[in-house]
C-alpha cells in the first residue's frame, strides 16, 4: 500500500536527499548528527523505494519530462575528510551515486567555519568556566559540562551564521584565542581527497568559498564566493563543475533572486536549496529543493517521505522587471526525436536572449513523443522556464487494435495537447502576460494553442509556418484537409506575423491571403554553429579506402525516393566505374528503413547499402564531417521547402550530391555553393553523372578553397543569425 501511494505521489517528481558530515563515530558535541550507522539505515529504508540517479541524469530527466518512477538523488554539503573513510566506501559498495557540494576555501587555508568552531569548543580546557562573546555585547556562555558545551556550540553556530564574512572571522579568532586553538589544527578535505572523490565517478559541485550567507554579503563578495569556488574546484579536479548549492540554502532568507542570477552568470547549469519539497516540471532548475529525513524508525521515515512529497517548495522570483518575454509553443522540442524542427525551436530559445528576448517554453509531455532521446535536453538553456502540457498520441494511447475515432486525430494525433497546454499555461499568462506569443508548425495543434492564448490574453502572436500547412496533395484526408484549411485561415487572419522558411512559401501565402501579404516574412532553416565546435570527423567503422556516402535523417519513400540514385549506383558498379568493395552507402536513422532496403534490393545494390540507427546529434554531425559524400533527397512535393540538413551539409564542408527537383527551392539554394552536384531525383542518368562528378572532386586540391568560400556564404544561415532576424521582427511588434 505504501509503495503504491509513494509511486503515485512521486510520479514526475524528483526527491533530492541531502546530508552533511556523516561521521564514522559518534560526536558527543553533536548528538543529533547522523552517523555512518544511521546513514546505512537510511539507505536500507530508502533504496527499495526509490530509484537513485546521478544528479545530472535526474535533472536531465526532470527537464525532459521523462523521469523514471520514484526518482531520487543523494547530495552531501560542505566537504569533510572523513567522507572517504565512511560514506564513500559505503556508496561504492552499494553502487549508489551521489553529488558532493564543496566549500573551496579549505584548499587555500580557510577551513570550514563550523568545523573551526566545533574544534575550538571540543578542545576547551576543563578548568575554563565560560566563553566571552565580545562581538555580542560581552555575552558570557557557561561551558563547565558537556551539556553546556553542546548548548554553547548550537548558540554560536546560530549567532555566527548570519554575521558578515569579516565579522564572523573576527568572532572566530576571538573564540579560538580563548580556547587556545588555531585553525591550522582543523582537519580538512585536501586537494588529493577531492581528486580521489572525483576519480571515483561521484559528482562534484560548488558550495561557495567560505560558506557565508549570501544575503548578508555585498554583491561583489557574493559573486566571488559563487564564481571563484567553481574555478578553484575545477582547477583541482580538472573537470567541469556544473551545479551549485546555496550556503544554508533557504530561499528568500539566505539567498535572493539576484544570487540566482549570479549562479547563472557564473556558468552553473543548476542549483539546489535546502527547502523541503520535491522538484517537478514547474520547479526552477536553479532552485531544486532538498530534504533530510531524520527517522529514526522506518515508520517515521516513511511519514516524512510522504510529507516531503506534499510539501510546496519555496522559491524566489527569478524574473527581471522590464525584460521582454516571449511565450513559445512547440511540439517538437527535446526529448522529441526524429524531426529537424526540434533544432529550429531549440536554437531560437538559445539565441534570443542575446537580443533582449527571454523565452518561456510550452511543449508537450514526453509521453506524446513516439521517439525520445535526451541528448539535446542539456542544450536547453537552464534559465528557460519550461512547461509541458499533458498530451496523448491518439495512435498509441487512444486506439483499440490500431483503430481510433477520427475526431481524436483532428487537427492531428496530438489534439489532446490543447487541453493540457491551456491548463498549464493560461494561469501563468493571466498572472504575468508575456510580450509576445510564438508557435511553430508542422504539429498544427501548436497553432491552435497559440491562437487560443493570444485571443484570451490580447498578446500579439507570431506564427512560424516553416512550410505550407496545406498544398495541392496534402493533407490527403478530405476531413483533415478541411480542418487544416479552416485553421490556416484563422492563423492568417489573427497572427501579427507569419514566418516561412522559403521565399516561395511566403509568396504562395501572400497570394492566397492578399490581406495578410505584408505580414508574410522569411526566416530560413539553418544550422547550429556551436554543434560543430570541437567535433572531430568520425567515419564510424567505414574503412578509409572506401568511398563513404551518407544520408543523415528521415527518408520518405514517395517524396524522397532513392530509386533513381540506386539505379545510377548499380550502373556504375555494373560497368566497372565503381568496385563494390570501394563504396559504402549509409542511411542514418531514415525511419522508413524497410522501404529503403526494399528499393535497394530491387536495384541490385543491397550489399552496398546499410541502415544505421539514430545517434546523438553531435555524433551525427561528426559522422557528416567524416563522410566523403553527403546525400540529399528532395522531391517536387517539397519544392517550397529546404530541409535543415542541407545547411548542415554545407557547413560540414564535404561533397554534396543532391537528388532534387531542379525547379525547387532546395536546388536554388544549393546552386549558389561550390562542391555540390545537383541532378533530378527521377533521372538515373543525370544522377550517375552527378555521382561521378562528386567522386572526381574528392581528390581535387581546389576543394579547399571551394569549401572556404562555402563556409563564408553559409554563415548567413547560422541559427544565431536567424534568431537575430526573429528578434528584430519581435521588436517591431512590441515597440
Q: What is the pLDDT of residues 358-394, one digit of tens each?
A: 999 999 999 999 999 998 999 999 989 999 999 999 9
Report helix, strand or coil for 638. helix
* Mean predicted lDDT score pLDDT of the chain: 92
| Region at 384 (left for phi over 0; alpha for psi -120 to 50; beta for the rest) | beta
Looking at the DSSP bridge assignments, the partners of residue 552 are: 588
Which domains are present in the chain? 2-109+188-310 (3.20.20.370), 113-185 (no CATH), 324-526 (3.40.50.2000), 531-717 (3.40.50.2000)
User: What is the model's pLDDT at position 430?
Assistant: 86
**What confidence score (pLDDT) does residue 17 get?**
97
Listing DSSP states for 219-246 in one string gives HHHHHHHHHHHHHHHHHHHTS---EEE-
pTM comes to 0.88
pLDDT at position 78 over 80: yes
Nearest to 66 by CA among 388, 311, 351: 388
Query: Which residue stretches of 328-461 are H helix?
Result: 341-351, 394-397, 417-431, 445-457
Handedness of CA 499, 503, 509, 514 (dihedral sign): positive
The reported pLDDT for the residue numbered 86 is 93
Region 322-351: mean pLDDT is 92
Average pLDDT of span 715-731: 94
pLDDT of amino acid 556: 84
Asked whether the beta carbons of 69 and 7 are under 8 A apart, the reply is yes
For cell 528557460, the residue is 384
Q: 129 falls in which pLDDT band (50, 70, 90)?
A: low
Report how far residue 315's alpha carbon sits from residue 257's, in angstroms, rounded to the nearest whole number.
9
Average pLDDT over residues 618-627: 96
Joined grid coordinates for residue 510? 501572400
Question: Would you call 98 helix, strand, or coil by DSSP?
Answer: coil
Out of 439-453, 521-535, 689-703, least confident range? 689-703
What does the pLDDT look like over 284-308, one tens digit per residue? Answer: 999 999 999 887 788 888 889 989 9
Distances (CA, A) of 698 to 542, 574, 649, 693: 16, 22, 15, 9
**Class of residue 725 by CB neighbours under 10 A (exposed 0-12, middle 13-18, buried 19+):** middle
What's the pLDDT tens digit per position in 470-494?
887 788 888 999 999 999 999 999 9
pLDDT in tens, 144-170: 788 888 888 898 899 899 999 999 998
Task: Inform me whether the pLDDT recorded for 127 exceeds 70.
Answer: no
- DSSP-derived pairing of the beta strands 655-660 and 71-78: unpaired
Residue pLDDT, tens place only, 5-25: 888 888 899 999 999 999 988
Rounded to an integer, what distance in angstroms lies between the CA atom of residue 507 and that of residue 517? Answer: 8
Instruction: Inform me whether the pLDDT recorded for 132 exceeds 90.
Output: no
Count of residues for the chain? Answer: 735
C-beta separation of 404 from 394 below 8 A: yes
| The pLDDT of residue 380 | 94
Quick one: cell of 267?
Answer: 556558468
Copy the grid coordinates of residue 642: 529546404
Count the neighbouring beta carbons within 10 Å of the beta carbon of residue 419. 14
As a whole number of angstroms, the distance between CA 227 and CA 544 comes to 46
The span from the CA of 345 to the CA of 647, in Å, is 16
Amino acid at each position: 500500500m505504501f509503495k503504491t501511494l509513494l509511486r503515485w505521489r512521486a510520479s514526475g517528481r524528483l526527491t533530492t536527499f541531502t546530508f552533511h558530515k556523516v561521521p564514522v563515530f559518534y560526536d558527543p558535541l553533536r548528538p543529533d548528527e547522523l552517523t555512518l550507522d544511521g546513514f546505512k539505515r537510511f539507505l536500507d529504508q530508502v533504496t527499495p523505494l526509490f530509484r537513485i540517479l546521478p544528479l545530472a541524469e535526474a535533472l536531465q530527466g526532470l527537464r525532459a519530462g521523462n523521469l523514471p518512477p520514484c526518482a531520487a538523488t543523494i547530495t552531501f554539503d560542505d566537504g569533510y575528510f572523513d567522507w572517504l573513510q565512511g560514506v564513500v566506501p559505503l556508496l561504492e559498495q552499494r553502487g549508489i551515486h551521489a553529488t558532493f557540494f564543496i566549500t573551496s576555501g579549505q584548499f587555500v587555508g580557510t577551513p570550514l567555519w563550523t568545523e573551526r568552531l566545533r574544534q575550538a569548543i571540543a578542545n576547551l580546557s576543563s578548568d575554563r568556566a565560560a566563553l566571552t562573546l565580545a562581538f555580542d555585547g560581552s555575552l558570557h556562555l557557561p561551558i563547565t559540562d558537556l551539556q553546556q558545551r553542546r548548548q554553547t556550540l548550537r548558540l554560536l553556530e546560530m549567532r555566527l551564521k548570519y554575521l558578515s564574512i569579516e565579522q564572523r572571522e573576527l568572532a572566530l579568532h576571538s573564540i579560538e584565542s580563548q580556547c587556545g586553538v588555531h585553525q591550522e589544527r582543523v582537519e580538512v578535505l585536501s586537494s588529493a581527497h577531492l581528486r580521489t572523490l572525483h576519480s571515483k565517478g561521484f559528482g562534484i559541485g560548488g558550495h561557495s568559498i567560505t560558506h557565508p550567507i549570501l544575503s548578508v554579503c555585498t554583491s561583489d563578495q557574493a559573486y566571488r564566493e559563487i564564481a571563484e569556488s567553481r574555478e578553484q574546484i575545477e582547477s583541482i579536479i580538472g573537470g567541469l563543475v556544473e551545479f551549485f548549492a546555496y550556503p544554508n540554502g533557504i530561499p528568500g532568507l539566505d539567498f535572493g533572486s539576484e544570487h540566482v542570477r549570479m549562479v547563472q552568470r557564473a556558468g552553473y547549469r543548476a542549483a539546489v536549496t535546502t527547502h523541503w519539497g520535491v522538484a517537478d516540471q514547474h520547479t526552477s532548475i536553479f532552485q531544486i529543493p532538498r530534504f533530510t529525513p531524520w527517522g529514526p524508525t522506518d515508520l517515521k521515515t516513511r511519514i516524512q517521505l510522504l510529507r516531503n512529497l506534499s510539501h510546496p517548495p519555496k522559491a524566489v522570483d527569478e524574473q527581471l522587471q522590464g525584460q521582454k518575454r516571449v511565450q513559445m509553443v512547440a511540439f517538437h522540442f527535446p526529448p522529441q526525436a526524429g524531426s529537424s524542427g526540434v533544432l529550429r525551436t531549440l536554437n531560437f530559445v538559445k539565441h534570443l536572449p542575446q537580443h533582449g528576448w527571454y523565452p518561456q517554453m510550452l511543449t508537450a509531455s514526453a509521453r506524446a513523443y513516439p521517439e525520445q532521446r535526451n541528448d539535446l535536453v542539456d542544450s536547453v538553456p537552464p534559465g528557460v522556464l519550461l512547461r509541458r502540457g499533458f498530451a496523448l498520441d491518439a495512435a498509441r494511447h487512444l486506439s483499440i487494435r490500431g483503430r481510433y475515432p477520427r475526431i481524436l486525430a483532428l487537427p492531428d494525433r496530438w489534439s489532446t495537447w490543447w487541453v493540457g497546454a491551456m491548463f498549464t499555461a493560461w494561469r501563468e499568462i493571466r498572472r504575468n502576460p508575456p510580450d509576445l506569443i510564438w508557435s511553430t508548425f508542422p504539429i498544427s495543434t501548436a497553432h491552435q494553442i497559440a491562437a487560443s492564448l493570444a485571443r484570451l490574453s490580447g498578446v500579439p502572436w507570431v506564427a512560424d509556418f516553416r512550410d505550407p500547412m496545406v498544398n495541392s496533395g496534402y493533407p490527403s484526408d478530405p476531413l483533415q484537409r478541411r480542418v487544416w484549411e479552416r485553421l490556416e485561415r484563422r492563423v492568417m487572419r489573427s497572427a501579427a506575423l507569419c514566418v516561412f522558411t522559403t521565399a516561395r512559401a511566403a509568396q504562395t501565402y501572400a497570394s492566397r491571403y492578399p490581406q495578410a501579404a505584408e505580414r508574410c516574412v522569411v526566416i530560413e532553416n539553418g544550422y547550429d554553429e556551436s554543434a560543430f565546435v570541437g567535433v572531430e570527423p568520425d567515419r564510424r567503422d567505414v574503412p578509409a579506402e572506401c568511398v563513404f556516402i551518407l544520408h543523415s535523417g528521415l527518408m520518405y519513400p514517395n517524396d524522397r525516393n532513392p530509386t533513381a540514385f540506386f539505379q545510377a549506383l548499380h550502373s556504375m558498379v555494373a560497368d566497372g566505374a565503381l568496385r563494390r568493395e570501394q563504396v559504402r552507402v549509409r542511411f542514418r536513422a531514415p525511419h522508413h528503413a524497410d522501404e529503403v532496403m526494399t528499393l535497394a534490393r530491387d536495384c541490385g545494390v543491397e550489399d552496398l547499402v546499410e541502415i544505421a540507427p539514430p545517434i546523438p546529434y553531435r555524433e551525427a554531425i561528426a559522422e557528416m564531417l567524416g563522410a566523403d559524400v553527403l546525400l540529399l533527397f528532395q522531391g517536387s512535393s517539397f519544392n517550397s521547402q529546404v530541409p535543415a540538413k542541407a545547411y548542415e551539409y554545407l557547413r560540414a564542408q564535404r561533397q554534396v550530391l543532391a537528388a532534387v527537383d531542379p525547379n525547387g527551392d532546395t536546388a536554388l539554394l544549393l546552386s549558389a555553393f561550390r562542391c555540390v552536384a545537383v541532378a533530378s531525383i527521377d533521372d538515373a542518368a543525370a544522377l550517375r553523372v552527378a555521382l561521378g562528378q562528386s567522386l572526381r572532386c574528392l581528390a581535387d586540391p581546389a576543394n579547399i578553397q571551394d569549401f572556404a568560400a562555402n563556409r563564408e556564404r553559409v554563415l548567413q544561415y547560422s541559427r544565431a543569425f536567424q534568431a537575430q532576424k526573429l528578434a528584430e521582427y519581435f521588436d517591431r511588434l512590441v515597440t
